[in-house]
Structure 1
Amino acid sequence: MLGFILQRLWQAAIVVIAMSALVFCGVYAVGNPIDVLISPDATQDIRAAVIAQYGLDQPLWRQYFAFLGRLIEGDFGRSLVYSMPVSQLILTRLPATLELTLAAVLFASLVGIPIGMYAGYRPHSLISRAIMAISILGFSVPTFWFGLMLIMVFAVQCGCMPAGGRGETVSLFGVDFSFLTGDGLAHLVLPALNLALFKFSLMIRLARAGTRELMLSDTVKFARAAGLSEFTVLSRHVLRLISIPLVTVFGLELGSTLAFAVVTETIFSWPGLGKLIIDSITSLDRPVMVAYLMLVAFLFIVINLIVDLTYALLDPRLRKGRA
């Protein structure tokens, strides 16, 4: 098991270095932030001084190695627009995005998997057909349109839910949380539902397909022959056997939801990383753009590492290197 963990950590380190080079070169090849930061009427001397101040007069490879050295120390530089450390700027927005992402993915998993298992257990029932129809709508409806419909129905017409914002928060261990207050929880519901739509449909279809296949397997037949109840068969055997693909999807969707929550945060005015990265792209705030992309890449790597370790716990063959 230790060798398996060390191998995955080594692979993760290589991927982080490769991603840092790709992200840095990709962002720094697009546009010139000096054109945004400096007035067109500025003299050449002022322009040259600002360029030298930010190190933009250095060759790209030298800028990258300077960035890599700061990255190892946990320093992403200073924002060109906000004039504050990028790490501090991101940390002020990250809790809101993490809260929204976790709420959406947990809802999609905790509700979608049991519903999908029921649809696979009773595939020909009317309820199962209705569940599959809902899942098809979840794949087909655009996220922005569904978000606007949620606002129009529940905020405008019914008036029972707030249309946007994060609402009242409570600080716990120095981090602000919305779900700990009634007002904050009310503000969280609609954006979380909007963000969970696609993931919810995906979990339903995966759980249904796995359950329907396993219900015809010898494992289930032997479990039934042993006198186990249907609930025990589903919870102890079927759920465990379909858990590996579900864990994979959960990990990947958690990362993608965190990375691509921009649309939902924009529609519901959620003060997370989405608004920050949009403003940074508009103003060519390179340090913030690089830090955001590196954070997303790092989160994907960490999530995949956790998924691999979870695989090893679920399947002993992986720990012994036979699969």
Structure 2
Amino acid sequence: MAVYLLRRLLQSALVMLAMSVIVFIGIYAIGNPVEILISPEADQMERERAIRALGLDLPLWMQYLSFLKNALQGDLGRSFVFNEPALQLILQRMPATLELAFGATFIALLVGLPLGLYAGLKPNSFGAKTVMAGSILGFSLPTFWVGLMMIMVFAVQLGWLPSTGRGQTVEVLGLRWSFLTWDGLQHLIMPAMNLALFKISLVIRLTRAGVRETMLMDYVKFARAKGLSPARVTYVHVFKNILIPVVTVVGLELGSTIAFSVVTESVFAWPGMGKLIIDSINVLDRPVIVAYLMMIVLMFITINLLVDLAYSALDPRVRLEGK
């Protein structure tokens, strides 16, 4: 285990280094923030002074080396717009995005696993066919359109849920969380459900496919022949085995949920990292964009490692130290 973790940490460091180069070059190529941040009425001296203050007068390779040196010390630069550390801005918005992503993943598992299990155990029933048809809608409907329809129905017409914002928050361990208050939980329901629709469909199809495949295995037939109850066969011998691919895919999807929650956060005015990155792209706030992308890369690497560990725990046949 120790050798495996050490090897993965080394690989992660190399991935972070490679991604920092790609991200820095990509952000440098999309445009010049001077044209947006500096007033066109400013004279040449003011422009040059502002360019030097932002560090944009240096060649690209020197800017990158300066960024890399500061990044190793935990400094990812200062925002051009807010004049605050970019990492601090990201961390301030991160709890909102994390609770939205984890809330969506929880809903996807809570809804998708039972429906997928039912569809796999009774594939020819009307209910199972309805579930599978609904999963196609979950894959097909655009996220922004579903979000707008949810706001129109549940917020405007029925008045059951608030349409925008994060609601009341409480501070825990120095971070602000909304799901711990009733008002915040009400604000969380619609954006989390909107973000979870695609994941629900994915979990349903993965679970159904796993059930159909597992039910044909010899150990399931043997368990039935021993006279075990259908419930025991299903939940002990079938359910545990289908969790392996589900945990793998859902774990990887959690990273994409965090990274691509931009649309949902924009529709529901959710003050997370996604909304911050959209605002930063509009004004070419390079330090914030770079810090956001590097944090996303770090999240993907961490989640992949946790998925590997969970995979090994669920399936003892998998050995992390194996070649």
TM (norm. structure 2) is 0.96
> Is the contact between residue 3 and residue 321 of structure 2 (CA under 8 Å) also seen in structure 1?
no
Q: Counterpart in 2 of 1:235?
A: 235
Q: CA deviation at 1:312?
A: 2.6
Distance 1:319 1:265 in 2: 39
Q: CA deviation at 1:244?
A: 2.2
Q: CA deviation at 1:239?
A: 2.0
Distance 1:156 1:52 in 2: 50
Q: Counterpart in 2 of 1:37?
A: 37
Pairing 1:120-139 to 2, within 5 Å after superposition: 120-139=120-139
Give the stretch that moved more between structures: 88-97 or 282-291: 88-97
Query: CA offsets, 1:146-167, max 9 Å, x none?
Result: 1111111111111111111111
Which structure 2 segments of 5+ residues have no match?
Answer: none
Query: CA offsets, 1:72-116, max 9 Å, x none?
Result: 111111100011111111111111111111100111012211210
Q: Counterpart in 2 of 1:7?
A: 7
Pairing 1:88-107 to 2, within 5 Å after superposition: 88-107=88-107
Distance 1:320 1:273 in 2: 33
Secondary structure of the 2:98 match is helix
Q: Counterpart in 2 of 1:177?
A: 177
Counterpart code for 1:105: T
> Is the contact between residue 97 and residue 273 of structure 1 (CA under 8 Å) also seen in structure 2?
yes
Counterpart code for 1:146: V
> Is the contact between residue 195 and residue 264 of structure 1 (CA under 8 Å) also seen in structure 2?
yes
Secondary structure of the 1:159 match is coil
Distance 2:81 2:165 in 1: 23
Query: CA offsets, 1:256-281, max 9 Å, x none?
Result: 11111111111111111121111100
Q: Counterpart in 2 of 1:161?
A: 161
Counterpart code for 1:32: N
Secondary structure of the 1:171 match is strand
Q: Counterpart in 2 of 1:61?
A: 61
> Is the contact between residue 97 and residue 258 of structure 1 (CA under 8 Å) also seen in structure 2?
yes
> Is the contact between residue 169 and residue 184 of structure 1 (CA under 8 Å) also seen in structure 2?
yes
Distance 1:212 1:247 in 2: 17
Query: CA offsets, 1:217-268, max 9 Å, x none?
Result: 1121112122322222222221222222111211111111111111111111
Distance 1:316 1:126 in 2: 37
Q: Counterpart in 2 of 1:111?
A: 111
Counterpart code for 1:118: Y
Distance 2:320 2:100 in 1: 38
Q: CA deviation at 1:179?
A: 1.6
Q: Counterpart in 2 of 1:286?
A: 286
Q: Counterpart in 2 of 1:276?
A: 276
Counterpart code for 1:41: E
CA pair 140-309 structure 1, distance change in 2 beyond 3 A? same
Which structure 1 segments of 5+ residues have no match?
Answer: none
Matched, 1:214 2:214: yes
Distance 2:83 2:139 in 1: 41
Q: CA deviation at 1:321?
A: 4.6
Pairing 1:306-317 to 2, within 5 Å after superposition: 306-317=306-317
Q: CA deviation at 1:123?
A: 0.7
> Is the contact between residue 120 and residue 211 of structure 1 (CA under 8 Å) also seen in structure 2?
yes
Distance 2:103 2:158 in 1: 23
Distance 2:48 2:169 in 1: 45
Q: CA deviation at 1:289?
A: 0.5
CA pair 214-277 structure 1, distance change in 2 beyond 3 A? same
TM (norm. structure 1) is 0.96
Q: CA deviation at 1:214?
A: 0.8
Query: CA offsets, 1:290-315, max 9 Å, x none?
Result: 01111111111111111122223233
Distance 1:294 1:287 in 2: 11
Distance 2:322 2:93 in 1: 43
Q: Counterpart in 2 of 1:256?
A: 256
> Is the contact between residue 4 and residue 319 of structure 1 (CA under 8 Å) also seen in structure 2?
no
Q: Percent identity?
A: 60
Q: CA deviation at 1:174?
A: 2.0
Counterpart code for 1:148: L
